Each structure stands twice: as C-alpha cells, then as structure tokens.
Amino acid sequence: MDKIVALAGGVGGAKLVHGLSQCLTPEQLVTIVNIGDDFNHLGLRICPDLDTVCYTLAGKANLATGWGRAGETWNALESLGEIGGPTWFRLGDLDLGTHLERTRRLRSGEPLSKITKDFCCSWEVEFTVLPASDDNVPTWVYTEEGELPFQEYFVHRQCLPKVSGFRFADVEAAKPAPGVLEALGDARLVIICPSNPWVSIGPILEIPGIQEAVACRTVIAVSPIIGGEAVKGPAAKMYKELGIQPSAQAVAQQYGSLLTGYVIDLVDKGQEEALRHAGLEVLTVDTLMKTNADRHRLAKQVLDFGEQVFDRKNK
C-alpha cells in the first residue's frame, strides 16, 4: 500500500502531477486522467486532458498556454483555414501527430490505455498515466441555449452560455481502464488535484467503481478555487451559474465525505475554521503554481500533509 494516486484534469492537474513526479518514483505515482473532454474532430480522436498530463510529464508542454506543445507551429491549421475548414479548435502541427497516430490505433481496435502507455514510453515518461476509462464518456453541458458537447461549450463558445448542469453520456456502462482499480486498491493516498470539480474530477468519479474505490482510501484535495476565483477556466463561473458561491469551502462540500484532508490557499485562511469544524484536516499554503519550483514545493507540502493525515487516520 505505498502508491500515491492522483486524479487529474488538464492544466491545474498536470501542474501538480508534474510536481509530484519530482518527489516520487515512477513505481509510486499513478495518475488517473479525465476523459470527459475527449471528442472527435476533423476525423481525429482528441484527448485534451490526457495529452496535457503526458506532454507536461514529458517536458513537451507549452508552458505559456498550459495546453498543446512547446515550439509548436500551425501550418496545418492555417492551410485548413484557407480552404474553409473549422479552425476554432487549435491543433498545432506537432500535436496533430499525436492525434493521427492515436486515431489510427483506436480504429484498429486498440484501447486508449494501451496507446497512452506506448506514447508515454516513446516520450520517455516513466510514470504511469491512465485514462479513467477506455470507454467514451463524453461530457455534455446543459446551458440556456440547450445541451452542448463539452468542447463546443468550452472552446468554440468560450464558456459563454450559462450553465445549468452536466451529463456524462453512457457513464453507467463505462468500465475503469485496466490498472485504475488496482492502483486505487493499492493507494496509501489519493490526491484530487486542483482541477475543475464539475467537468474534470466529476467524470472520473462517476465511472462505476471509481468513487467507491477512492472512498476506501485517505483522500486529500487541493482547492482549484483561490479567493473565490478559478486560476484559469470556468470553474468559478460554473459555481455561480449553478447558484453556489464559488469558494474553497464550496469545493470541499462538493467532494463531501470523500475527503479526509484539504489543502487551501493562504488567501482563504478565513475558511480554515469552518472546514475543520466540518471534520476536515486542513493545510493552508500558497497553492498557486506559477513556476516549476512552485509545483515541486506544493507537491512536497501535499505529500507531507498526506502522510500526517494517513498516520492520524490509521493510528
């Protein structure tokens, strides 16, 4: 029981996972990644969160955008635009290679988890990165304009339509990918990364069997909400539109009894007492990861805190 399992979406999750990878060995760390954002576009299978995590661990991520690859060029997208093709989803030339090969292999019947493993091997990523499932669980966003596929809402419509709920299609029939339940069964600690609780962590936990397996472990979450705002993306906007005041506390309430420990930002120190009152162990530190040193420091603090929480819980 010495594995550390991280649950992650894209940008926020990848940053903490990168920090964890600098503190742990490849045998210790397993990352389970959201697949609700995955979609078909231009005939290709695109897995944004999985690629963000893998590119980050491979040192290939674009640090400025948080998604896509460093040193990217955009020739294919430009030529696509010239002939009237859809360019709203930005796909760089280097990134396209990933999608082409993944799509080819998926079409030949290989599972996403095996393809991801092989890509990681090619990119010299020694850490285990697992899609939450090999089945498709596409996120749909209920909005004032009707139901929108996730990327239509997130990228094409830039999260503008007001949200009233989410649906993860076919999730009841989805199975955890090979290795997911095994890793959770072996986990000393599960870390819920600072990812969007609605559309990054939610779809992972909805896959039958995963939430139950997580609930058996010592679970620590890092709040993606700092000072009532998301660092990036629509998480805070989603809370507001769903009638909830966005805060670190709101995230803890959403995860509910799953959590044993909770890491919040220094600016949210005022919420410590209420969180402790609700039965949580709380660590209050600087959780904003601007630099690689921040990722490393936060990961170390989360792991040390996790050890203390584990020891107290299992004493």
Dist CA 132 CA 129 (whole Å): 9
DSSP 1: -
From candidates 203, 233, 246, 306, binder to ligand GDP by CB under 6 A = 233
Nearer to ligand GDP, 154 or 310 (CB): 154
The answer to whether the CB of 215 falls within 8 A of the CB of 252 is no
Q: Does residue 10 bind ligand GDP (CB under 6 A)?
A: yes
Options 12-20, 103-111, 213-221, 306-314: segment touching ligand GDP (CB under 6 A):
12-20
Supply φ then ψ for residue 18, to 5 degrees. -60, -45
Nearer to ligand GDP, 28 or 65 (CB): 65
Q: Does residue 139 bind ligand GDP (CB under 6 A)?
A: no
In the bound complex, what is the minimum distance in angstroms from residue 312's beta carbon to ligand GDP? 24
Dist CA 191 CA 220 (whole Å): 5
Nearer to ligand GDP, 216 or 266 (CB): 266
In the bound complex, what is the minimum distance in angstroms from residue 291's beta carbon to ligand GDP? 10
The residue behind tokens 């926020």 is: 12
From candidates 176, 224, 246, 261, binder to ligand GDP by CB under 6 A = 224
Nearer to ligand GDP, 11 or 24 (CB): 11
Output the residue with the shortest Cβ distance to ligand GDP. Answer: 12
Q: Does residue 195 bind ligand GDP (CB under 6 A)?
A: yes
* Cα angle: 297, vertex 26, 137; to 5 degrees: 90
Long-range (24+ apart) CB contacts under 8 A made by 53-56 are 53/8, 53/10, 53/13, 53/14, 53/17, 53/129, 54/116, 54/119, 54/120, 54/123, 54/125, 54/129, 55/14, 55/123, 56/14, 56/15, 56/17, 56/18
Question: How far apart, in Å, do the first and last CA atoms of the chain sit?
Answer: 15
Options 81-89, 163-171, 231-239, 305-313: segment touching ligand GDP (CB under 6 A):
231-239
The answer to whether the CB of 262 falls within 8 A of the CB of 275 is yes
The answer to whether the CB of 96 falls within 8 A of the CB of 57 is no
From candidates 133, 247, 287, 301, binder to ligand GDP by CB under 6 A = 287
The answer to whether the CB of 244 falls within 8 A of the CB of 250 is yes
Nearer to ligand GDP, 9 or 176 (CB): 9
Which residues neighbour 236 within 8 Å (Cβ) at sequence distance 6 or greater?
225, 228, 229, 230, 246
Dist CA 277 CA 81 (whole Å): 55
Q: Does residue 7 bind ligand GDP (CB under 6 A)?
A: no
From candidates 139, 200, 218, 247, binder to ligand GDP by CB under 6 A = 200
For ligand GDP, the binding residues in 30-49 under the rule CB under 6 A are 49
Options 17-25, 56-64, 128-136, 287-295: segment touching ligand GDP (CB under 6 A):
287-295
Q: Does residue 289 bind ligand GDP (CB under 6 A)?
A: yes
From candidates 3, 6, 7, 13, binder to ligand GDP by CB under 6 A = 13
Contact positions vs ligand GDP (CB under 6 A): 8-13, 15, 49, 194-196, 200, 222-224, 226, 230-233, 235, 287-289
